Amino acid sequence: MKYTLQKVFALVLVLILLAFNLFLILTYLRTGVGYTPIQSVSFSHKVHSRYNISCLFCHHQVEINSYANYPTTRTCMTCHIALKTESEFLKNVVYSYDSLISLNWNKVYDLPDYVRFSHSHHIRSGIDCATCHGNVEEMDSVYRVRPLTMGWCVECHKNPSAYAISPREISGIFYIPQDSLDSSFPSHKVLEYNLRLIIPISKPLQPASIECSSCHN
């Protein structure tokens, strides 16, 4: 009897583990959460964030264009022309710089072509990068943390205060309350990071449109 109970318990445990793994697999296939593409350059956001390098230093077009650009070799070599030049991690970057062959980055998030999404519109609304991408500054290899399914986006549009994260200093988006705009504001800090001053609306984010034409052509 004792051995029978042990076998039943072991079988139940195996079935639970199989069911849980199946759930994880189906969730991954449906939402892509956890997806971590292999990049040609072993770049650690966690290491670079220690030096207070903002997101917009490398992704400098995100606040003015609909897309978020990947850093070019020239961006990397802005610092690494003199820093860590012999590092194994920089081998492909140095080769790209010497050969004039562009670095190849694999997308972590890739929305379908029929989805119209503007990074600049969301950034200028005072929505931080971490809202969709998570705390990238704590990641070594960047992975997908949000499903970005239509359902997730619609829920955020309906109730942005439950999803949206306010601009953080590490992101490089300067959040200036309307009542603080005076001559004492250190505008040189904006110039230091070569960023445009973003002045958000002082009131909380309002629900956004969920009409089909808002996100689909």
Q: Please give the pLDDT value at position 1.
A: 55
- Residue 79 placed within a domain: no
Q: Please give the pLDDT value at position 52.
A: 87
- Residue 97 placed within a domain: no
- Residue 19 placed within a domain: no
- Residue 208 placed within a domain: yes
From first to last of the 217 residues of the chain, give the pLDDT tens digit.
Answer: 556 777 777 777 888 887 776 665 555 555 678 899 999 898 999 999 999 888 988 988 888 888 888 899 999 999 999 888 889 999 999 999 999 999 999 999 988 889 999 998 888 888 899 999 999 999 999 999 998 889 999 999 999 989 999 888 888 876 655 454 454 544 444 434 334 445 454 567 889 999 999 999 7
**Residue 64 domain boundaries:** 40-70+105-175+186-215
Number of domains in the chain: 1
What is the rounded distance in angstroms from the CA atom of residue 59 to the CA atom of residue 158? 28
